[in-house]
Amino acid sequence: MRNFMNKISLVFIGIIAGVMVSLNFSAIADKEIKEELQTLPIEELRTFSQVFGRIKSDYVEPVEDKKLITEAINGMLVGLDPHSAFLDNEEYKELQIGTQGEFGGLGIQVTMEDGLVKVISPIEDTPAYRAGIKTGDLIIKIDDTAVKGMTLNEAIKRMRGKPDTSITLTIIREGEAEPLAFTLVRDVIKIESVKSRLVEPGYAYVRITQFQERTGENLAEAITKLYSESKVPMKGLILDLRNDPGGLLNSAVAVSAAFLPNNALVVYTEGRTSDAKMQLRANPEYYLRGPGKDFLANLPQSIKTIPMVTLVNGGSASASEIVAGALQDYKRSTIMGSQTFGKGSVQTILPLSNNTAIKLTTARYYTPNGQSIQAKGITPDILDEDTDNDSRLLREVDLNRHLNNSQEENTGKKSTLRKKNADSSKKSGNKADKKPKSHEPVEFGTKDDQLLTKAINHLKSMAQKSRQKTAKATQG
């Protein structure tokens, strides 16, 4: 047995060293990374190989080497933060399809917390959204199978399936005495990335539900159409990013570039490697995917100066926060709503062999003025949590193993967001007990959307103040 274990140890140390050398990313050129790879933790690797050997020899049933190694890789990545993960063939393929705006499933963004699946956000116009699944819901059963003991990938695979097949999710919800059962019918999720309409003469409404490959082009088409349909000169625009979970970085740059001056800094990233240090600007170089015509080139000139309000909430994450942060820093738009999610980390998809990949957190996002988004989010200029469509207030900072905000680490300060939310919950607790919120979410962009109404009124107020200022200047 000892000889067997020694052989296993040597083999695995060799395998791990070989894997690290074979992952020949450009970042490996950095001196610090090179030095760390040259000093492998031999004792820890020996322990790993001993555990592997014990499972192979003593586990109650035979286990394939492939399964053990795959689970070890999963464990390495899952233990880092909520957004790093190993993607097998199927998951890697679905990730690629998802960024194109069409995929199968329920339409729900989830993470794992305390062994249960926690809902980050339902995606608009999907089975999960229509059924009334809410941010903060804890999924405890999928059909008749308990979630406890599953990995996040396993749970997600169970929720996926052929369109038109049903699935029952059993959910624990804060404020509900008993678990809730939701029966949903799986569907092909086709996400309309950009929605737009004229809410009043001269006032345009544009909603971005997710940042996909063609979001920048779709936005340009929507703006052009709105201007052509308006019978009066455009007076104001409302950009709605509520419950937008993010998506592609270049699309976030394209959306920002539509409203910002040419070549303005949109966002920059800081990480350990040279590849993780980027400055992304409002320039076709940073938002076009390959050669092609600049779809923002022929937009009406006034789109750069038209008064704007950007709507955000706790479901606005990642790419949404990049756009909101850039517009806020340049004072290009009034940000209105509630504190955003706070996902300010960069995930890089690193393809491996056999059509698999790892999704690895490699950097943090910073707004043009140097504010870190991570575990903090964007604070609106006009804070209005009363009209937030989601009372759960789940944020990045609530997730297990979340990456800390680097600026708070450097200053020794801790975010007070959790305390503010807790105080707010205490103050509104009695009201919530007396009148629980309906399971039916308010549809964004409709006459029942109170925050949209407030945004329109704010734009009108801005226009009135501008007229008064002009009148005074003329009189003077």
Task: List active site positions.
Answer: 318, 329, 343
**Pairing status of strand 203-208 against strand 194-200:** antiparallel
Cβ-contact 215, 288 below 8 angstroms: no
d(CA 361, CA 318): 13
The packing angle between helices 152-159 and 89-98, to 10°, is 60
d(CA 56, CA 54): 5
Sole residue written with tokens 């020996």 = 46
At position 84, the amino acid (one-letter code) is S
Q: Which residue from 93, 245, 92, 124 is spatially nearest to 191, judged by alpha carbons? A: 124
**Pairing status of strand 334-337 against strand 382-383:** parallel
CA angle 384, 333, 467 (to 5 degrees): 100
d(CA 332, CA 174): 38
Q: How far is CA 77 from CA 55, 70, 201, 304, 361, in A?
A: 21, 11, 51, 42, 9
At position 200, the amino acid (one-letter code) is E
d(CA 395, CA 217): 30
Cβ-contact 399, 364 below 8 angstroms: no
d(CA 219, CA 206): 8
Q: Which residue from 66, 39, 37 is spatially nearest to 52, judged by alpha carbons? A: 66
d(CA 212, CA 220): 14
List CB contacts of 368: < 8 A, sequence separation 6 or more.
Answer: 264, 265, 266, 267, 268, 325, 326, 329, 330
List CB contacts of 78: < 8 A, sequence separation 6 or more.
Answer: 84, 85, 112, 151, 152
Question: Chain centroid to CA 321: how far?
Answer: 9
Residue 331, phi then psi, degrees to nearest 5: 55, 35
